Amino acid sequence: MGGVVFLFPGQGSQYAGMGRELADSFPTARAAFDEADRALGFSISELCFTGPEEALKLTENTQPAILTVSVAAYRVLEEKGIRPDYVAGHSLGEYSALVAAGALKFGDALRLVRRRGQYMQEAVPPGEGAMAAILGMRPGQVAEICRKVTDGKVAPANLNSPDQTVISGDAAAVKSAVQQASADGAKRAVVLPVSAPFHSELMRPAQERLEKDLRGTEFSALRIPLVTNVDAGVITTGAEAREALIRQVTLPVRWEESIRELIEQGAGTFVEVGPGRVLCGLLRQIDRSVHSLNVEDVKSLQTALERLAQMRGEGADAEAS
């Protein structure tokens, strides 16, 4: 079975109706949504459960909404006796991972990510920044294309897998890079429907504003080791967690390296905790030999619990023999 890792999704995994089944079925999950509503001063639970989609897509809403669903799902797993050996989160998901690891209070994380979303939205005027996904091309090739673009700044933002790199920067520069990647043989190169150029140097104003909030927030030692986006290395202290979140705003998410580091640490089973299956899909692109599960509703929870119990039983049998 190997070590168990909980992975927490980032922006783009949201959908209207997320978390509702868990809240209806488990008092622990319902309590997490109630806590989030109180911390934020409005009903983020209603936004998760019913939308509308347009409101859910606003970055300042998306970020606390995904965090809330992820923490609710985590708390149900914890109640069922499932504890990970490591945690990691994709971009926004790193906040969910830190709540799970005990480094950040849930309420503090909610308020931080709502402001994070606002700061990111306000850092670049609408239409001036963009992001694009480049599929079927090695990360090094994508980086080289970005370096050669002359009509603005563009650079890799999410190093997701051997076949998927997301780029971010000035809108004109991103468009030029997409055209060049298509000409150079990318399977697909498409501008993404996002509201800001995340994880790029253009987010420097957002980073400076968020840093003040992060330095004024209490961080505790991690009860569960975490692999960070910015360094793809293991951390265990609150100070390391804070610095990683500050740097994360303008630096790329090194997701493929993070997963490989976790496998190197002995991980063999990955559970995506929160809405969607984006990270499970990336995991298959990185290494098909590991197990991937997800927990976002009652059915996926039951499947994950049964599969984890089965794998533990098989592991015990192997040790006994």
Residue 45 among the catalytic residues: no
Token pair listed for 237? 């202290």
Q: What is the C-alpha separation between 270 and 287, in angstroms, rounded?
A: 11
| Annotated catalytic residue within 90, 199, 258, 292 | 199
Query: Which residue, 73, 92, 74, is CA-closest to 23?
Result: 73
| Annotated catalytic residue within 13, 45, 91, 161 | 91
- Report H helices in 16-169: 20-25, 27-40, 44-50, 53-57, 59-79, 93-100, 106-123, 139-148
Cβ atoms of residues 249 and 92 within 8 Å: no
Query: Which residue, 142, 176, 180, 184, is CA-closest to 159?
Result: 142
Of all helices (H) and strands (E), which one includes residue 254? Answer: none
Q: What is the C-alpha separation between 227 and 87, in angstroms, rounded?
A: 7
The amino acid present at 46, given as its one-letter code, is E
Residue 199 among the catalytic residues: yes
How would DSSP label each residue in 262-283?
HHHTTEEEEEEESSSSHHHHHH
Cβ atoms of residues 100 and 71 within 8 Å: yes
Cβ atoms of residues 157 and 199 within 8 Å: yes
The pair phi, psi for residue 191, each rounded to 5°, is: -70, 135
The residues that are catalytic are 91, 199
